[in-house]
Amino acid sequence: MSRYSRAWALPLLAAAAALALATSLTGCDSLGKLGSTGHYPAATAFTVGSRVTTVIIDAGSGSADVTAASRSTVAVSQQASYSTKPPVARHTLSGTTLTLSFTCAVELTCGISYTVQVPRGVAVRVSAGAGAITLTSLSGSVSAQTGAGLITAVDLRSASVSLKSNAGGIIASCTVPPRSLSASTNLGAITLTVPGAVAYKVNTHTYVGTSTVTVRRSASSPYAITTSSDVGSVSISPA
């Protein structure tokens, strides 16, 4: 505990936990199903055949699962959930950037969870208010942020990775050494696994929690890892 005394730890933890609960219950979320009769229609799917180099997903209070594969098109599956009126789903293609989003009426439960397959090398940017984010085998640049939810990234081959969760952990494993890997949480543990063949320039910080770094370190390395957790432990280890 480097800057804050233990007297600060409990208030900070309580505030962060309250934020997580409020975020998860006040949005139009499938998490908000408490005490409601929800509608869960069959998922709808479509394919974007045009060239796409960047996929942006505004998942709101839904979840997002993005996987890269040996394919030339983007395949999208959308699973809606709502209590009164269905969400209005949108997908727009501007140049080579595909954006997936939705809007909801004011109601207890409303959201869309996305399952997306992209070609290898496509850049992916995902944001969620209260939902989990799962990323698999991506090799383009990656940016993921969620207000309350777990971020899981597996088999990343990206040079640039940025992961942020306000209330929820981050678990990421890289198959290729990242040039820039950034992971931060306000409340939640961070667990990173990277190839051990190279050394890394590591900058890690925790307010309430411990940092365990077992990768080789070098201040002059071109491979940089930066982590920050307000309340939660940090682990950076070789594969």
SS (H, E, C) 91-113: EEEECCEEEEEEECCCCCCEEEE
**Count of beta carbons in the 10 Å neighbourhood of residue 9:** 15
Alpha helix ranges (H) inside the chain: 6-26
Beta bridge partners of 112: 80
- Asked if 210 and 191 touch (Cβ cutoff 8 Å), the reply is no
Structure tokens that stand for 175 in this block: 């198959």
CA distance 35 to 32: 8
pTM of the model: 0.84
- Asked if 142 and 124 touch (Cβ cutoff 8 Å), the reply is yes
**Domains of the chain as residue ranges with CATH:** 6-13+28-238 (2.160.20)
- For position 106, what pLDDT does the model report? 85
Place of tokens 């505004």: 58
**pLDDT tens, residue order, the chain (239 aa):** 444 434 444 444 444 444 444 433 333 433 333 344 689 899 999 999 999 999 999 999 899 999 999 999 999 999 999 999 999 999 999 999 999 999 998 878 899 999 999 999 999 999 999 899 999 999 999 999 999 999 999 999 999 999 999 999 999 999 999 999 999 999 999 999 999 999 999 999 999 999 999 999 999 999 999 999 999 999 999 99
- Asked if 215 and 172 touch (Cβ cutoff 8 Å), the reply is no
- For position 114, what pLDDT does the model report? 98
